[in-house]
Amino acid sequence: MGADGTGDVRVGDLDETALLARVVPLMPTEALLGPGDDAALVAAPDGRVVATTDVLVEFRDFRRDWSSGADVGWKAVAQNVADVAAMGGRCTGLLIGLSVPTDLEVAWVEDFARGVAAACACFGAVVVGGDLSAASEVVVSVTALGDLQGRPPVLRSGARPGDVVAVAGVLGRSGAGLEVLQRNGSAAPREEELVTVHRRPQPPVAAGPAAALAGATALMDVSDGLLRDAGRIAAASAVTVELTTTGALGEWSRALGPERGLEHVLTGGEDHALLGCFPPEAVLPTPFAPVGRVGVAGPHPVLVDGRPWTGSTGWDHFAR
């Protein structure tokens, strides 16, 4: 292979400076002060900054034979900007910690950076800092910073009985796409689309600030499945989230098939849709679709068509 790295150059063939010189220019890095000094400096116009962090670990959160470097970079950005949107904010900067095996191809790291860049372009984000180190498996840790434009953050704890429950985005497709990959066979065209959603989720980031402006009383990113995440709003707000499958939830279920569709919609993770609660008189901003109502606290945090759901309830990082 050539010294220009077009061949199978490995991470361990380069020193850190040389690797950074190849990767950093691939990403958008605008800020008051971007990468290169001890720290970055990011604008925080209203005197506060939203901050959230998520870690993606190879074999647990992704597999390199199922997702390209660009897919992993995209997803790491997407799930963090979704968390900023879920406070009602817009992302102002990302810090990306990337740990990789020394025998990983440099091309994978470059591909990762291109996926980060593509997601940044899609979601209106920039990379302001990061760290690169060696590890025995790929670990991606992203911190996203955000701006609330002077508004209060929209928490999980503000839902009130009578509120409308609504979702921006489509649920169940990422989990269904993961199932296609796990089946390890060829995928029908419709299934390819689900796999793409799994690899490159598209959180509706503009819906976060829009929900805040529309008076949302509670808002969160659906990353661990609707039932589990709705349960978190129910717990934080001391209410019951009463979902109905007659509207959008049913429509999404039917699109995923009669056998597992509803289970995917209710328990599939990583779609990074936004789950919001709105006062009954609020006009739901695009693309929020109503999926239920908030009720008073009861024996079950979440009901589906009036009954507790008895199946599995989402992903746990440690459960055996």
Contact 96, 116 (CB under 8 A): yes
Q: Measured between alpha carbons, how far is 198 from 28 in angstroms, rounded to an integer?
A: 24
- The single residue among 21, 30, 41, 280 that binds a copy of itself, judged by CB under 8 A, is 41
Q: How far is CA 102 from CA 95, 99, 106, 113, in A?
A: 22, 9, 9, 17
The stretch among 129-137, 162-170, 257-265, 292-300 that binds a copy of itself (CB under 8 A) is 129-137
Annotated ligand binding at 208? The verdict is no
Applying CB under 8 A, which part among 79-87, 171-179, 184-192, 280-288 lies near a copy of itself? 79-87
* Residue 25 DSSP one-character state: G
- To a copy of itself, the closest distance from the beta carbon of 317 in angstroms equals 5
CB 316 to a copy of itself: min, Å = 5
**Residues in 215-254 at the binding interface with a copy of itself, rule: CB under 8 A:** 219-221, 236
Q: Which of 8, 21, 121, 131 binds a copy of itself (CB under 8 A)?
A: 131
Q: From the CB of 291, what's the least distance to a copy of itself, in Å?
A: 19
Cα–Cα distance between 307 and 243 in angstroms, integer?
A: 9
User: In angstroms, what CA-CA distances link 217 with 62, 165, 170?
Assistant: 33, 10, 21
Nearer Cβ to a copy of itself (99/196): 99
Check: CB of residue 211 under 8 Å from CB of residue 151: no
Q: Is 315 annotated as a binding residue?
A: yes
Reading the block at residue 61, the tokens are 């959160």
Near a copy of itself by CB under 8 A: residue from 33, 213, 296, 297: 33
38 binds a copy of itself (CB under 8 A): yes
**Which of 56, 131, 73, 51 shows the shortest CA–CA distance to 97?**
131
Output the CA–CA distances (angstroms, integers) from residue 208 to 184, 189, 213, in the order listed. Answer: 35, 31, 9
Interaction of residue 296 with a copy of itself, rule CB under 8 A: no
* Residue 61 sits in the site that holds a copy of itself (CB under 8 A): yes
Known binding-site residue numbers? 38, 52-54, 61, 83, 130-131, 156, 221, 223-224, 270, 315
List residues forming the annotated binding site for substrate. 61, 270, 315
